[in-house]
Amino acid sequence: MSKSSRVLVLNCGSSSLKFALIDPHSGALDLSGMGDAFGQGEPTVSWKFNGDKQCTTLPAEARHAEVIRFLVNEILSDCPDLRDNLVAIGHRVVHGGEKFSHSVLIDDAVISTIQDCVALAPLHNPAALHGIEAAHEAFPGLPQVAVFDTAFHQSMPRHAYIYALPYELYRDHGIRRYGMHGTSHRYVTERAAELLNLPVNEVNIISAHLGNGASITAVHNGHSVDTSMGLTPLEGLVMGTRSGDVDPGLLLHLSSRLDYCLKEINDMLNKKSGLLGISELSSDCRALEQAASEGHDGAQLALDIFCYRLAKYIASYHGVLPQVDALVFTGGIGENSSLVRQKTLAHLSGLGYALDEARNQRARFGEEGPISTEQSAVTLVIPTNEEWVIARDAAGLVPPTSPNSDPCSRE
């Protein structure tokens, strides 16, 4: 792999597509951007290319394929050198079922497994398939690599991933905890080990990824041993629009007593719950913090519940791990919301957590480092970098025969 190699990373969500052109060796970004607000009028594409920020709108019907076409024909066409140095396309795929514990080159069998998992990640896997198809059209000769959110969690022991349901549901239908956000939890684990000066296979952390989706993972000796998301990305923590854990009896009650049909239950739990549902205002943590500071009771309650439920998971993972070297906050909320970190740790003083408020306030917008006092349980903020992990995995899987690979300098 030559020093000028680049990987194009695509992270396709249901209503957005994030893209980045990355040097897999250093993680340096030539280009990063996103197509946003699909299905809500004219989608915007915004990007930063070698430091310059730009933005445009696309026709209302534009989705993943159109954004990828715009990326190829308009944005990347300005830099023929970079296109020549592209060695692979890396795709974030949320659900890979039980089949993948590592990233893989995409072929028909891989596509078919991603299709099989659509029902388990209905907001995410169809979008990844659109991205793979569009990228294949745009770059027919380039290797494409799938990096699965579920892969990092394949190390969980059976007692963590089997639900207390009839065992045949696992045996015959694969119903079990899979866990998501694994690419982020993996990055955070590796980075925490570096910051703590420990070999990665000796680090024990609790990693809280708090974005629009949110999940928390217990990492023992560098491996995921439990995580809050389950069969689907709906279980666990309170999220932007997802409920997280509820009493399963609720579903029966909604159906038998309140006449909800399956589609209504699905929409309610995935799209109308979480921070949005409680606050009746917004799924966006920033908007809720602002509203709560102005006295909005729903916003305050949503933040209170979010932090309380997160603290309960952190406490329970102290029972999962023999030792905790650090609690780590990451994701848009984890990296930026000093309020959420402060409210969460306020529940955990019994476990030795205490914030250094000055450090907590400083940790924003990409700042990395400890936010705990010297004497208390170590708490870190680590900005996640899923794109770099995806780029590294993709570059590492480029076949030696690929036109852009350089067999003499492969790592």
Ligand X SMILES: Nc1ncnc2c1ncn2[C@@H]1O[C@H](COP(=O)(O)OP(=O)(O)O)[C@@H](O)[C@H]1O
Ligand Y SMILES: CC(=O)OP(=O)(O)O
- 3-state SS assignment for residue 138: helix
Q: Does 284 bind ligand X (CB under 6 A)?
A: yes
Residue 191: which of ligand Y, Mg ion, ligand X, none does it interact with, CB under 5 to 8 A by kind? none
Least distance from C-beta 18 to ligand Y, angstroms?
Answer: 9
Amino acid at 348: L
- The answer for residues whose C-beta is within 8 angstroms of residue 169's C-beta and 6 or more apart is 163, 175
Residue 218: which of ligand X, ligand Y, Mg ion, none does it interact with, CB under 5 to 8 A by kind? none
Q: Does 213 bind ligand Y (CB under 6 A)?
A: yes
Query: Do the annotations mark residue 334 as ligand-binding?
Result: yes
- Compute CA 315 distance to the chain's CA centroid, rounded to the nearest angstrom: 22
Query: Do the annotations mark residue 85 as ligand-binding?
Result: no
Please list the helix, strand and coil fractions of the chain in percent, rounded to the nearest 5, in that order: 45, 20, 40
Least distance from C-beta 276 to ligand X, angstroms?
Answer: 10
Stretch that binds ligand Y, among 70-78, 128-136, 206-214, 332-340 (CB under 6 A): 206-214
**Rounded to the nearest 10 degrees, how much is the dihedral formed by the CA atoms of 177, 178, 181, 182?**
120
User: Which among 207, 198, 202, 238 is positioned nearest to 382, based on CA atoms?
Assistant: 207
Q: Which of 21, 34, 93, 94 binds ligand Y (CB under 6 A)?
A: 94
Binding flags for ligand Y, 153-192, as an x/- string (CB under 6 A): ---------------------------xx-----------
Q: Are 95 and 178 in contact (CB under 8 A)?
A: yes
Query: Do the annotations mark residue 327 as ligand-binding?
Result: no
Number of residues counted as binding Mg ion (CB under 5 A):
1
Q: Is 172 a catalytic residue?
A: no
- 3-state SS assignment for residue 50: coil
Site for Mg ion, residues 196 to 235, rule: CB under 5 A: 211
Least distance from C-beta 187 to ligand X, angstroms?
Answer: 13
Q: Look at the alpha carbons of 24, 26, 27, 28 in this order and tell me if their dihedral is positive or negative.
A: negative
* Residue with Cβ nearer ligand Y (6 or 18): 18
Instruction: Give residue for tokens 């998992």.
Output: 117
Q: Which of 23, 66, 149, 325 binds ligand Y (CB under 6 A)?
A: 149
Q: Which of 213, 222, 244, 370 binds ligand X (CB under 6 A)?
A: 213
Binding flags for ligand Y, 229-268, as an x/- string (CB under 6 A): ----x-----------------------------------
d(CA 69, CA 166): 47
Q: Does 383 bind ligand X (CB under 6 A)?
A: no
Query: Do the annotations mark residue 332 as ligand-binding?
Result: yes
Least distance from C-beta 262 to ligand X, angstroms?
Answer: 26
d(CA 373, CA 379): 9
Q: Which residue is nearest to ligand X (CB)?
A: 332
User: Which among 122, 5, 124 is positioned nearest to 64, based on CA atoms?
Assistant: 124
Q: Does 286 bind ligand X (CB under 6 A)?
A: yes
Number of residues counted as binding ligand Y (CB under 6 A):
10
Q: Which of 30, 149, 325, 393 is catalytic?
A: 149
d(CA 378, CA 47): 36
Number of residues counted as binding ligand X (CB under 6 A):
13
Q: Are 104 and 145 in contact (CB under 8 A)?
A: yes
Query: Do the annotations mark residue 12 as ligand-binding?
Result: no
- The answer for residues whose C-beta is within 8 angstroms of residue 308's C-beta and 6 or more apart is 347
Query: Do the annotations mark residue 177 as ligand-binding?
Result: no
Query: Do the annotations mark residue 386 as ligand-binding?
Result: yes
Least distance from C-beta 240 to ligand X, angstroms?
Answer: 6
Q: Does 240 bind ligand X (CB under 6 A)?
A: yes
d(CA 200, CA 265): 41
Q: Are 342 and 304 in contact (CB under 8 A)?
A: no
Site for ligand Y, residues 3 to 22, rule: CB under 6 A: 13
DSSP 398: -
| CB-neighbour burial class of residue 262 (10 A; exposed 0-12, middle 13-18, buried 19+) | exposed
Would you state the structure tokens that stand for residue 373, as one six-digit string?
């006092």
Residues that bind ligand Y (CB under 6 A): 13, 94, 124, 149, 180-181, 211-213, 233
Residues that bind ligand X (CB under 6 A): 211-213, 240, 284-286, 289, 331-333, 336-337
**What residues are labeled active site?**
149
Residues that bind Mg ion (CB under 5 A): 211
